[in-house]
Structure 1
């Protein structure tokens, strides 16, 4: 590893323009509880999860299913009554149940938007078409040509106000851009957040930690002299066993959307109480499954099967450096201002704010659309997060009780479909590979890398050369692509950042 320090500005001062060097290094190394928003002008992305713990044991499963369905019906009905009849429909069980419940409350009025991009799962796309037919929704299929993704990368970074780590976020930006052109909105409902409140991804937390370890290993090479001190500081600041993390007091509660204000009618109140999971009769309605022996899920969250390498490895890095990195805290367990009571909640908040919601909320808002996420509405999330784990993880499925609860709304082939790896896409596997590599080469020039102040320029150029010669199925293609996309994003933000206050 190079031992020379990064170049400093005169008198060692941070320039009046640009990203904070510390923010750059923290983001690349996952060295703070939330890496989202290194851009000084970025607006906070607040997610207020109810502070509840899951019941230890299940009682009446059918009663719990009825209670969950009632909560889901009430949640979606509130959005429909507010005038929202449009949904983003990927074809997975989450968006399928959202489309079906919206159609139940607004029959004949629903319009569903789906995305046609080359790395979208064809089974789910077929399920989206089936759900539109079953529910009577008008289906609008938005075509996203591969060639537009590299060209829209910079626009997507600026809209997301943070780094981008795979092509899915760019595709989301392109999707909302084209949907708006075709008359979508002004408000759409999204299925984002279902996995996080209903344990839809078995093994998500250890898988995400493995991917973080991969990112940190490569970041050590990219950061040069700063990296070892960063590791020491990170380890020293995290007392073993400490759980005083996550959650911001006073954060907005209720519906999560990108409008910058609470949804009308969203409840505001104390989130400390722990609800019972006894059904109340007076209320009214990546990767999920394990396929073979491995957990195939969305590459935003966890690991891949066999040849798809845009995911975390099944084991932490090896050797002395690997041992050090594997011993570091996960970003969701780093010290924060307030505590959330379980690792599940801390992880959920991290993955939502860091990876899932920026493309959904900020990407859509850039085109004048508001995206709302009913699964994260407090009323539904409070019920979902109190359910016993035993009714959510079963027979290789996540979200088991929810799948059971929506059986009257969603056909079996859709609600019981095993989720396959989605968006396993790198520059090397893209049909427009040459254009992606050109983008990387242009933005990772020595001058742009030096402007970030903490980057070992020669080390990154060496990684870039190595990446250019990799086969698309190389085990390191995914981690390398994530690093390069982060660096390109940072270079773009640096180029557009105004003077720091």
Structure 2
């Protein structure tokens, strides 16, 4: 696990100053505290910060092939590198190290871009080919590892693991992209195909970008995809066994490391499943850790202790106050772009706790997306059953009329919000789901924006990204379409960004075995009824894991990290709410109407409406604008 950065001159091979590359990697030194390296050639410079995990003595980067033709910098892990090495050695390739990085060099020489299909792992890498005068940028299937890039006006291509690496280059122009603000306010994060800094892009998950000197920079090409095809065949018992086999292999392959390794343990289904399979494969006690809260209603540590005792793990936990808003500035620094998923606060503390004992931690991320484990999946499936009761032409009129005659009840649990449900039923399924995954709806965003800001959007609407993804998804039903969009939009933009930034801020590598692409392909091939049945998400997974885990763990309500944002802005952060209400910083952008900001804060303070999440979004946006643009 590392940080990478580099410079490539597209037009001519003019020299690259190694000091500039060093500035870029110094900006991301937290990603690799164990070493650094810079390599330059005609028109190219590659930089690397190393967090040593595999082949501690021989895996330094940038790494060149024996003949000097290929040079690479790599962030991530190739878990099947030993198998690949044996296959490449059989083809006559000679290895000089025991690192997985070298498999990229030999794999590219042997198979070209097709080597990506052979890699099992998480990765973002750059590979320079001196003979072809080309630079290749590649990113893993799900976007576990980030990769930013930008083309400057003079034809210089910059890239880096984080935005701050690019910002360290003095010629990168800093200007905000307001369409990214629209996306952020809609979802609470800047999606993976957008960036708050105009002109900067993120290489999308499962994409490859080839830059050839002397040619205009082309478009990234997708090299992997997944389909929800319901093609799996067999009895339920047989499919259970196959699922466990895939999970077991995914976990074991991610336990390869030359440094201390452990796991996050919340006591939920996913992390408990990972720990169970780690304990099965390990000869010694698995290191586990949990974060608990000093508010009983939010605390899950008792469940984590049960699993720790069941599998005799070396368990540690730390209680934190849910009032951990003191980390706001640290989070703003870690994420660069605004990020408003408040679970990043306890996640940051969890990574700090893990790093005290281990360098690598396994997490349970990914099962909810692949196996329909979110509450919104249940609601969406139920809504689609209701939609089927009326022809499409009648739905909008019938359900729209019902919605208009029901009072608004934002305070109620979602199943009791009849108006919200009728509004969803009146919409197209893709449109309804796009709103369900959102944080701030279009109507509220329009209330906040100035006329000039609305005009600047030029028709751009954040929800259209989800609608388009779902309508073109390779899936046989709407549930599969929703899950596909979760994997392509939500997962890289929110979940994996959160894990990457909070872990790498502490020099910790996090691995997600439940995102193994072979496991995902199997899960996507299951009939929908084996993913979601009787209102129970992850149905087959929970059934399969009963051999390891007790029912109270498997079937308890999902909690996740909870933070009392609404209370903060009526208490300890009341001053921040007042400052937002005054609109000095956000109003200066010309995007937000000061009167609207003031009204939002006043409604929240008075308890008339719960605008806690919106105020949190605005606070984190303010922090990011200040750091990036001096606003």
TM-score range, shorter chain: 0.5 to 0.7
The DSSP-based 3-state class of the residue aligned with 1:167 is coil
Assess if the C-alpha contact under 8 Å between 1:392 and 1:399 holds in 2.
yes
Name the CA shift for 1:198/1:407 in 2 (closer, same or farther; >3 Å). same
Residue of structure 1 equivalent to 2:366: 193
Q: In the alignment, which of 424, 448, 462 is matched to residue 222 of structure 1?
A: 448
Q: Name the counterpart of 2:242.
A: 67
- The equivalences for 1:332-351 within 5 A come to 332-334=466-468, 340-342=473-475, 343=481, 344-351=483-490
The Cα of 1:362 is off from its aligned counterpart by 0.9
Q: Deviations over 1:366-409 (max 9, x none)?
A: 11111111111212212222211111212321111111111222
Following superposition, the deviation at residue 134 of structure 1 comes to 0.6
Relative to structure 1, is the Cα distance of residues 135 and 368 closer, same or farther in structure 2, using a 3 angstrom cutoff?
Answer: same
Retained in 2: the 8 A contact 1:185–1:370? no
Deviation at 1:93, TM superposition (A): 0.4
Structure 1: runs of 5 or more not aligned = 1-14, 236-327
- Residue 486 (str. 1) matches residue 617 (str. 2): yes
State the 1:45 CA deviation: 7.8
Name the CA shift for 1:119/1:436 in 2 (closer, same or farther; >3 Å): farther
Q: Does 1:395 align with 2:395?
A: no
**Helix, strand or coil: the match of 2:567?**
coil
Equivalent residue pairs, number: 382
Is 1:23 the counterpart of 2:180 in the alignment? Answer: yes
Q: How does 1:409-420 map to 2 (within 5 A)?
A: 409-419=548-558
* 2:511 pairs with one of 372, 378, 384: 372
2:567 matched to which residue of 1? Answer: 429
CA distance in 2, matches of 1:427, 1:33: 22
Q: What's the counterpart of residue 331 of structure 1?
A: 465
SS of 1:113 mapped into structure 2: strand
Aligned counterparts of 1:128 and 1:42: Cα–Cα separation in 2: 41
Residue by residue over 1:148-205, the C-alpha shift from the partner in whole angstroms, topping out at 9 and shown as x without a partner, is x22111211221233333432222123323443xx13311111111100111125436
Q: TM-score, normalised by structure 2?
A: 0.54
Which has more radius of gyration? 2
SS at match of 1:490: helix
- The equivalences for 1:68-147 within 5 A come to 68-82=243-257, 85-118=261-294, 124-147=300-323
Cα distance 1:69–1:408, how it changes in 2: closer, same or farther (>3 A)?
Answer: same
Q: Is the 8 A contact 1:427 1:433 kept in 2?
A: no
| SS, match of residue 458 in structure 1 | helix
Instruction: Note closer, same or farther for the CA distance 1:413–1:32 as it changes in structure 2 (3 Å cut).
Output: closer
> Would the alpha carbon gap of residues 451 and 118 (structure 1) be closer, same or farther in structure 2, given more than 3 Å must change?
farther
The offset of 1:439, in angstroms, is: 3.1
Deviations for 1:133-155, whole angstroms, at most 9, x for unmatched residues? 011111111222234x2211121
Over aligned residue pairs, what C-alpha RMSD do you find? Answer: 3.4
Distance, in Å, in 2 between the alignment partners of 1:91 and 1:34 is: 30
**How far apart are the structure 2 equivalents of 1:22 and 1:411?**
47
Mapped to 2, the partners of 1:437 and 1:453 lie a distance apart of 24
In structure 1, what is the Cα distance between the partners aligned to 2:506 and 2:536? 36
Instruction: Report the TM-score, using the length of structure 1 for normalisation.
Output: 0.68
Stretches of structure 2 that go unaligned for 5 or more consecutive residues are 1-171, 207-223, 381-431, 476-480
Q: Distance in 2 between matches of 1:352 and 1:194?
A: 11
**Distance of aligned partners of 1:108 and 1:435 in 2 relative to their CA distance in 1, 3 Å threshold:** same
Aligned to 1:55: 230
Q: Does 48-57 or 342-351 show the bigger shift? A: 48-57
| Secondary structure class of the residue paired with 1:435 | coil
Is the 1:86–1:110 Cα contact (8 Å) retained in structure 2?
yes
Moved more, 370-379 or 447-456: 447-456
- Within 2, Cα distance between the matches of 1:445 and 1:334? 37
- Cα separation, 1, equivalents of 2:518 and 2:180: 35
Question: What is the alpha-carbon distance in structure 1 between the residues aligned to residue 363 and residue 469 of structure 2?
Answer: 31
1:294 match: none
Query: What are the Cα deviations for residues 198-251 of structure 1, in whole angstroms up to 9, with x where unaligned?
Result: 11125436566235385322211111214654787147xxxxxxxxxxxxxxxx
- Tell which has more relative contact order, 1 or 2 (C-alpha 8 A, sep 6+): 1
Q: Matches of 1:135 and 1:37 in 2, distance apart?
A: 43
Alpha carbons 2:336, 2:627 under 8 Å: kept? no
Richer in strand (by share): 2
In structure 2, distance between residues paired with 1:94 and 1:175: 16
- Give the SS at the match of 1:51: coil
Write the mapping of 1:158-173 to structure 2, written as runs, cut at 5 A: 158-173=333-348
Matched-pair contact (CA < 8 Å) for 1:199–1:393? yes
1:348, distance to aligned residue in structure 2 (A): 2.4
CA contact (8 A) 1:24 1:452 kept: no
Distance 1:40 1:120 in 2: 44
Question: How far apart are the structure 2 equivalents of 1:162 and 1:119?
Answer: 30
Which residue of structure 2 lines up, in the alignment, with residue 452 of structure 1?
A: 589
Rate the CA distance shift 1:57–1:69 in 2: closer, same or farther, 3 A: closer
Match of 2:316, SS state, is: strand
Counterpart of 1:325?
A: none
